[in-house]
Amino acid sequence: MQLASEAGAALFPDFAVEPRSDDVAVPLARLGEGLLRAPPYAAATACLNVVALSVSGSPSPADRLDPARLLAGPGWETPELIGRARAARRALLAARIGGAWWGDELPAGDGYVLVALAEPIVSGNAGAPSEAVLVAMLDAALAEYPPERVVVLASDRVRPRLGTALAAAAARGACIVSSEIAPLPAVDGAAEVYSAGGEIGFLALLADRAVKAFAASFYTGWGLTADAAGIPRHAFSRTLDEVFAAHSLVAARYRDPFRNAPASFEDTLALLAEWRRIDIANRRVAVCAGMSFWKRQRVADFLRSTAGTPVFRRSAATAVAAARRASTAEPRAIAVWASRIPPGLPELAAREGVPLIRVEDGFVRSVGLGADFLPPASLVFDAGGMYYDPRSRSDLDRLLAETQFDAALIERARRLIAQLVSRGVTKYNLGGAAPVWDMPPGARRILVPGQVEDDLSVLYGGGDIRTNLDLLACVRDANPDAFVLYKPHPDVIAGHRKGAVPEALARRFASAIVQNVSTAAFLAGIDEVHTMTSLAGFEALLRGRQVTVYGRPFYAGWGLTTDRMAIERGRRLTLEELVAGALILYPRYLDPVTRLPCGPEIIIERLDQPDAWRAGPLVMARRLQGRLARRWSEMRAAAPPAGLAGEPPRR
Rounded CA separation 578/558 (Å) = 8
Contact 112, 189 (CB under 8 A): yes
CA 607 from chain centre, in angstroms, equals 17
CA nearest neighbour of 114 among 211, 36, 32: 211
Rounded CA separation 491/500 (Å) = 10
Task: Sheet with 597-598: list strands edge to edge.
Answer: 311-313, 285-289, 333-337, 356-361, 378-382, 588-590, 597-598
**DSSP secondary structure letter of residue 168:** H
CA nearest neighbour of 612 among 636, 631, 595, 634: 595
Which residue numbers in the chain have pLDDT < 50? Answer: 1-7, 17, 368-373, 616-628, 642-651
Q: SS3 for 193?
A: strand
Burial of 237 (0-12, 13-18, 19+ CB in 10 A): exposed
Q: How high is the pLDDT of residue 63?
A: 60
Q: What is the DSSP string of 338-360?
A: TTSPPTTHHHHHHHHT--EEEEE
Contact 461, 417 (CB under 8 A): no
Rounded CA separation 435/528 (Å) = 18
Q: How high is the pLDDT of residue 475?
A: 97
Rounded CA separation 172/253 (Å) = 44
Contact 622, 368 (CB under 8 A): no
CA nearest neighbour of 397 among 388, 405, 406, 410: 388
Rounded CA separation 365/613 (Å) = 11
Query: Can you say whether the dihedral through the CA atoms of 419, 421, 426, 430 is positive or negative?
Result: negative
Question: Phi and psi of 360, rounded to 5°?
Answer: -150, 165
Q: How high is the pLDDT of residue 191?
A: 94
Q: Give the bridge partners for 113, in sequence order.
A: 150, 192
Q: How high is the pLDDT of residue 120?
A: 82
Contact 462, 448 (CB under 8 A): no
Q: How high is the pLDDT of residue 6?
A: 46
Rounded CA separation 361/619 (Å) = 17
Burial of 483 (0-12, 13-18, 19+ CB in 10 A): buried
CA nearest neighbour of 306 among 43, 107, 95: 43
Rounded CA separation 113/186 (Å) = 10
Rounded CA separation 555/542 (Å) = 11
Contact 185, 106 (CB under 8 A): yes
Rounded CA separation 590/362 (Å) = 11
Instruction: Give the max Cα distance, the chain.
Output: 102
Give tens-digit pLDDT for 212-236.
999 999 999 999 999 999 999 999 9
CA 596 from chain centre, in angstroms, equals 7
Query: Residue length, the chain?
Result: 651
Letter for the amino acid at 235?
A
Q: How high is the pLDDT of residue 619?
A: 41
CA nearest neighbour of 420 among 573, 601, 593: 601
Contact 36, 268 (CB under 8 A): yes
Q: How high is the pLDDT of residue 584?
A: 97
Q: How high is the pLDDT of residue 648?
A: 43
Q: How high is the pLDDT of residue 204?
A: 96
Rounded CA separation 571/494 (Å) = 39
Q: Which domains does the chain have, with CATH numbers?
A: 2-89+256-263 (no CATH), 97-242 (3.40.50), 407-613 (3.40.50)
Residues of the chain with pLDDT > 90: what percent?
59
Q: How high is the pLDDT of residue 646?
A: 41
Q: Report the 3 state secondary structure along 466-495.
A: CCHHHHHHHHHHHCCCCEEEEECCHHHHCC
Helices (H), 284-424: 296-303, 316-326, 345-352, 395-402, 407-422
- Name, in order, each residue with C-beta under 8 angstroms of 263's C-beta and a sequence gap of 6 or more: 48, 254, 255, 256
Rounded CA separation 498/561 (Å) = 27
